[in-house]
């Protein structure tokens, strides 16, 4: 694919995932990459957190962290309203916590500035 990228932790450059695992469009209010899989360097604890504000208000989720540096890099949604139901059980990586390495151009770019082709769960 033309627009392949590797997702790195902003804190320590550990590889967290790649664009081949993207499986959905980011919902309004959340700046995330939605992925089927991530590397084993993405860890989470068994304790659920509850969103108290913003797009995750009232949602229960597991916080994802980088195993190498401990930076919070995303979440796995456990329960939510119907508007975010399609994200449950998927890896949502915060764009603010990620740096992308674009394979074709061999460029490093902020995740918030990258636009990948639209992908749906059906694809």
Relative to beta strand 5-9, strand 98-102 is antiparallel
**Rounded distance, CA 111 to CA 93, Å?**
10
What is the model's pLDDT at position 43? 97
What's the number of CA atoms in the CB half-sphere (13 Å) around residue 95?
A: 19
Q: How far apart are CA 91 and CA 93, in angstroms?
A: 6
Cα separation, 65 vs 97, in Å, equals 10
What does DSSP say about strands 72-79 and 42-44: parallel, antiparallel, or unpaired?
A: unpaired
Question: What pLDDT, on a 0 to 100 scale, did the predictor assign at position 25?
Answer: 81
pLDDT of residue 123: 44
Q: Hey, what domains does the chain have and what are their CATH numbers? A: 5-113 (2.170.150.20)
Classify the phi-psi angles of 74: left when phi > 0, otherwise alpha if psi is within -120 to 50, otherwise beta: left
- CA max distance for the chain: 41
The four Cα atoms 93, 10, 5, 104 give a dihedral, to 10 degrees, of: 160
Predicted pLDDT of residue 28? 83
Residues of the chain falling short of pLDDT 70: 1-2, 117-123
pTM, two decimals, is 0.90
**pLDDT of amino acid 120:** 57
According to the model, what pLDDT value does residue 119 have? 65
């Amino acid at each position: 694919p033309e627009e392949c990228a590797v997702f790195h932790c902003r804190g320590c450059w550990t590889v967290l995932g790649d664009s081949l695992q993207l499986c959905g469009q980011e919902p309004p209010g959340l700046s995330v990459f939605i992925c089927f899989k991530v590397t084993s360097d993405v860890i989470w604890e068994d304790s659920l957190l509850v969103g108290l504000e913003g797009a995750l208000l009232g949602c229960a989720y597991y916080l994802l962290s980088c195993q190498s540096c401990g930076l919070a890099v995303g979440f796995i949604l456990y329960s939510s309203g119907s508007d975010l139901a399609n994200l449950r059980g998927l890896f949502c990586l915060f764009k603010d916590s990620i740096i992308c390495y674009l394979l074709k151009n061999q460029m490093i770019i902020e995740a918030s500035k990258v636009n990948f082709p639209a992908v749906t769960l059906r694809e």
